[in-house]
Structures are given as C-alpha cells and as structure tokens.
Chains A and B, each alone.
Chain A
Amino acid sequence: MELFGNLGLGLETALSPENLLFCFIGVVLGTAVGVLPGIGPTATIALLLPITFTFEPVSALIMLAGIYYGAQYGGSTTAILINLPGETSAAVTAIDGHEMARKGRAGPALAAAAIASFVAGTVATVVLVLFAPPLAGVALTFGSPEFFSLVVLGLIASIALARGSTVKALGMIVLGLLFGTIGQDIYTGTPRFTFGVRELFEGINFVSVAVGMFGVAEILKNLEDEQTRKLVTKKISGLWPTREDFRRMAAPIARGTALGSALGILPGAGHVLASFGAYAIEKRVSKRKEEFGHGAIEAVASPEAANNAAAQTSFIPLLTLGLPPHPVMALMLGAFIIHGITPGPNVINDEPALFWGLIVSMWIGNLFLVLLNLPLIGIWVRMLTIPYKILFPAIIAFSAIGTFSLGLNAWHVFAIAFFGVLGYALIKLGCEPAPLLLGFVLGPLLEDHLRRSLIISRGDLSIFISRPVSAVLLTMAVTAIVIAVLPTIRRKREVVFKEEEI
C-alpha cells in the first residue's frame, strides 16, 4: 500500500538524529512555555522563528510544531498545580484538575492529562494521515477564484467560533488585511504605505506583528495587575492513577479524542472549543455529576484529550489547503514560506519527505512528551518560580534581538513596539488579536487570488458565484457570518466561553 510507503518515508525523515533532536528541543521548549503563564505558544513560535532560518526546512517545521503541541501539554500542568491555565484551552482542565491537586491527587491528575493527551495525539495523527491526502487532492483542482473564496471562508469562519463581538472581529480581519498591503505591490512593484522608508519595502514582517500583538500586548496587560502565583503542591507523590481511575478515564478519553479531532479542523479556536465541549459532554453523560467541579478525573482526561487531538488535526487545513485555522498555524504558514515552500495541496507531492516526516514527528513528539512530562514534572514546577519581573524583560530582549536578526532591519523591531501598543489598546477595547494576525498573513494571498481571478474574468465579479465550488464556499462564509450574528446562537456561544471565567 502507498500509505505504508509514505509512512516509511516519514519515519525515515523523522527518525534522523538531527530531526529527533529538533523534535525533542521543540517539545521541551513547548512544555516550558506552556507551563509559564504570560507567554503563549503564538508569541514563542514567533520569537523562535528567526532562529530556525538556518535549519533545514523539515527540521525547522518539526521543531515549531513540537513547540505548539508541547505547549498544549504544558498548559495543563499549570492549570492543575496552580489553577492558572498556561493556555486558554487548558482553562477547563483547571476546574477539576486543580480540585484534584488540592485533595492531594495532583499526581493522578497530571498522569491523566498526559495519558489522555498521548492517546489523543496518536489517534489524531492517524486522522491526519488518512484525511490529508484526499483533501489535498480536491484542493489541487482549485483555481484562483476557488482559493479566493476559500481564504474568505477561512477568515470568516475563524471569527464565527471566536468569542466577543463579531463586528469588531470583522474589523480586526480587515485591519490585518490592510497592514498586509504595506510594502511593494506584487504586480507593479509600487511601494505602498512605506512613507519612503526603504526598510519597509519588503513589508512588515509577520514575526513583528505576532510578537507585538501576542507578546508585548500581553506583557502590558499583565503589568496592570500582577497575579501572585501560589503552588498547591511542592511535592508530588503517587503519580500513577489507580485501576479505578483508569476505568473511569477510558471512555472520556475516547469521546474527547473524537470531538477534538473533528473540531480541530475547523477554523478559529477549535482546540479551545473542543476542550470546553468535551467538558460539557462528560458532565452530561456522567453518572457522577455531583463530582464535577470537585475533582472528577473524567473532567481532566476528556478535555485534555480533546485539546491535544484538535491541536494535531488543525494541521490538516494548513498542510492541504494552505489555510491556517488559527494564529499559531498562521505562523507555521509564514515559516513554510520563509523556507521557500508554499503550503497547500502541492506540498504532499512536491515535498513528500517533509510532509510525512512532519506528521510522523508529531507522533514521536507526543511520545517524548509522555516520557518527559511525568518524570520531569519537578523541573516544570520549579520553572513556575521564575519571577515575572525577570521573565517579561527577557521576552522583550529576546524579541528585539530575534526580530532584528530576521534581516538586520531595525524597522522590524520598531514594528513590534507599534503592534504591541496598538494590540494592547485594541484588546483593552474588547477586540481579539487573532483575527488581525490571520488577516495579515492571508492578506497578500487574498489580494493575489482576487486580482488573478478578475484578470481571468475580465473584471466580472460574478466569476466567484458562477464557479460552483467557489459559490459553495462563499455561501458557507455568509452562513458563518449569519450564525455568528444570530442572537440565540450568540448567547449559547457566550455560555460555552463563560465557564472560562470560573
């Protein structure tokens, strides 16, 4: 079978000593940032991107992917131990996980999270292997009008699932698209919005936008009121869950994995939605409803399985359609482009070693995480004691030098400051930063496909609805907006995200 040949190629790539090393470094760094509250995977990946420039493309992508799913793992550790989710998707884990820790069962809670994540990661990797190639096959038949509509759908769907005001989110997308137009026009070479600054001709770097909006803005927000972190347990004993725990975990892990794998493919906050959804489902089907909120192991296992599965399957739209479903994937898209590879349906045929190597590395990475997280939990706990007063200047210093090294261009550093302040202001005014970054990264693609389509159709806009695939995609986009605006669904959505505040 072809599949096994492909997986063999993937194994060969992923198991090469240097790729194993980069995968390992990636998951360690990922776990570390997942553990550290105040710096998320988006900012970290943006910070580390410049470092990976000199690597082989496949090694760079393996490491960046490792950071991402490693962070999903690490986020649950802080959620359980200090009730402070390192990542949004770990917010539900904190509810019951932290209760377990307070009752002296931190060990089994951490183990449940690790085992659930590993099982989910393994299954989701299989899903990726099975579904990516056919989807890429479909996308190969797409022309510019279809890609234009696909990008529109991707952008709009990403906000249908996000929290907060839909109109503001739309505004953030458009603002991102506009910032994306800065720099030389691809068709005529005219420099746009550069104010005569030569350094801006290449456009604003997406690393600057990501570090500013997700790193600096976050720091400014954290400095407003510093939370003191309290460890529940300094010592964790009795790591292994009991037989009873295992029995109770099995079905929730399966359900969480299924839900996460499905939702991960959707644009937007699929992994966040998946973990909240998984919690809700478990609460509904459980025979021990009264235990929920007081340390039910199901409520740790299922959301953890869901968010890890979703983290994995969110690679599907990126690898097959070139469409990033959330900010971290937008950065991955940028990483691909920096290495001269355009993500999309062609990757699977043009770069089979990279495609399959990356997928297989995810499974290996998940294995590393289980081996790493449980025995090394003490080190991660110690990392929590790094004071914020040292952590945040470090983020600023690293982002300055890292971004400067992108092209020895000081304007990349100025751009961080600009987007940091703008991001801080907009976040304070109730706007989410994610749509802006997605718009920024996809902007040039959208404009290119729009202009090409209209050259094909001689300026006739109806090309987008006369081609059936494009028409369907646009209809879905319109439906997504309607759903997002409809009051009843809105309210339900608020309820889903409300639990985060608890």
Chain B
Amino acid sequence: MPEARRALKDILAGGIFVVLGIAFAAGALAYDIGSPTRMGPGYVPLVLGGLLAGLGLLVIAKGFVAGEGDAIGDVDWRAVVLVTAGLLFFGLTVRGLGVVGALFGASLLAALARSQTSLREALVIAAGLTALSVVIFIFALQLRLPLVGSWIPV
C-alpha cells in the first residue's frame, strides 16, 4: 500500500473537490438554468460545480502519478470539536443568554481546546476575555447588543 499512502493527501483533497463540486452542480439543477444569452440562476453554479469536480479528479489522478508524499500528520480532534463548539454556542445562545453568557461559554470552550489548559485556568481566561470584550465592544464601540438575553429573567 505504499502508493496509496503516498497519494492519500491528494486523494482526500481531490475527493473534497469532487464531492463539493457535484453537490453544487446537483443543487444548481434545481434552479432555472437558462441559456447562455439569458442565464438563469443555476447556470454559473452548474458550470463551476462541474469544473470543480473535474479539477478534483485531476488532483486525485496526480496523486497516484506523483503524490506529494509527506504525511498528513495528526489531527487535534479535541481542538477541532471544542473550537467549533465554542463558535456554535455563541451563535445559538447570544440572543437567549445575552452577550455576557454567550461570550463566557464560547471562550471557555475555546480555552479548553488546548489540552494543557486546566479547567481552572480556562475559567479565569474566559472570565477575563468576557469582561474585556464587553468593555471593548459594548462600552467603547457602543454595539447595541443585549448584555443579558431573553432566557434570563431579570
């Protein structure tokens, strides 16, 4: 399996292109395609989706002929999951909990993404960052965001 391993990076990258290209092209078929003279909303995405899938196949083919060789390296899944979770938490709770709660949760999750950071440290970092962000964005820049959201009865 040495060849396949050497090509792995290119196969995966090409695979992402192919999948996304086909997804966009297929999605575009649901819209009016139109003609070159009067292009519908689906025309350009259809062409580009096809082009991307084609380029993806080319990347895969190139991987087999002359793969880049170097390993992909480890993925820090803890970081990926917690950073994503932090951002999603903010988006989902900013209206309900308000800026303070959403920011605290988001920066706590993000701080924990680094495995060497202890929970205690993360709590301190999150509290500090929340205070700093509120000062910068709400007081200094006057963003009109509710500090406390609708879920919390005052």
Q: Which residues of A contact B59 (CB under 8 A)?
A: 165, 167-168, 171
> A410-437 CB contact bits vs B (8 Å, 1 = yes)?
1101101100110011101111000000
Shortest distance from the beta carbon of B7 to any chain A beta carbon, whole Å: 11
Pull 21 A–B residue pairs with CB atoms less than 8 Å apart, ordered by A.
A54-B141, A165-B62, A167-B55, A181-B24, A190-B31, A193-B45, A389-B111, A390-B125, A393-B110, A393-B113, A394-B132, A396-B87, A397-B106, A400-B106, A401-B99, A405-B143, A414-B88, A414-B91, A417-B88, A425-B16, A461-B36
Q: Is A178 an interface residue (CB 8 A)?
A: yes
Give residues of chain B (63-117) contacting chain A, Cβ–Cβ below 8 Å: 68, 72-76, 79-80, 83-84, 86-88, 90-92, 94-95, 99, 102-103, 106-107, 110-111, 113-114, 116-117
Shortest distance from the beta carbon of B19 to any chain A beta carbon, whole Å: 11
* A402–B76 touching, CB < 8 Å: no
Nearest CB in chain A to that of B85: its residue: A417
- Give Cα A419–Cα B52 distance, bound, in whole angstroms: 18
Size class of the contact patch on chain A: 35 or more
Q: Is the interface of B mostly helix, strand, loop or mixed?
A: helix
The 3 closest A-B pairs by CB, nearest first: A459-B37, A185-B41, A459-B36
Q: Which residues of A contact B110 (CB under 8 A)?
A: 392-393, 396-397
- Give Cα A167–Cα B58 distance, bound, in whole angstroms: 7
> Which of B21, B39, B58 has its CB near the most chain A CB atoms (within 10 A)?
B39
- Give Cα A265–Cα B94 distance, bound, in whole angstroms: 43
* B106–A396 touching, CB < 8 Å: yes
Shortest distance from the beta carbon of B148 to any chain A beta carbon, whole Å: 15
- Give Cα A157–Cα B83 distance, bound, in whole angstroms: 34
* A424–B80 touching, CB < 8 Å: yes
* A413–B75 touching, CB < 8 Å: no
Size class of the contact patch on chain B: 35 or more
* A393–B88 touching, CB < 8 Å: no
* A220–B133 touching, CB < 8 Å: no
Shortest distance from the beta carbon of A215 to any chain B beta carbon, whole Å: 10
- Given contacts A393-B111, A401-B99, A447-B44, whether A421 and B84 have CB atoms under 8 Å apart is yes
* B117–A389 touching, CB < 8 Å: yes
A224 CB contact (under 8 Å) in B13, B76, B102? B76
- Give Cα A410–Cα B90 distance, bound, in whole angstroms: 8
Q: Which residues of A contact B132 (CB under 8 A)?
A: 394
Shortest distance from the beta carbon of A431 to any chain B beta carbon, whole Å: 6
Shortest distance from the beta carbon of B119 to any chain A beta carbon, whole Å: 13
Shortest distance from the beta carbon of A300 to any chain B beta carbon, whole Å: 31
Q: Which residues of B contact A393 (CB under 8 A)?
A: 86, 107, 110-111, 113, 122, 125-126, 129
B137 CB contact (under 8 Å) in A178, A390, A405? A405
Nearest CB in chain A to that of B74: its residue: A224
* A223–B79 touching, CB < 8 Å: yes
15 other A-B residue contacts (CB within 8 Å) besides A178-B20, A410-B92: A167-B62, A174-B52, A188-B40, A226-B116, A393-B107, A393-B129, A396-B110, A397-B130, A400-B102, A401-B90, A405-B137, A414-B87, A414-B88, A425-B16, A459-B38
Q: Is A240 an interface residue (CB 8 A)?
A: no
Q: Is A454 an interface residue (CB 8 A)?
A: yes
* A178–B52 touching, CB < 8 Å: yes
B76 CB contact (under 8 Å) in A185, A223, A408? A223
* B56–A177 touching, CB < 8 Å: no
* B83–A192 touching, CB < 8 Å: no
B52 CB contact (under 8 Å) in A171, A397, A401, A426? A171
- Give Cα A185–Cα B40 distance, bound, in whole angstroms: 9
Nearest CB in chain B to that of A450: its residue: B44
- Given contacts A167-B55, A430-B13, whether A192 and B62 have CB atoms under 8 Å apart is no
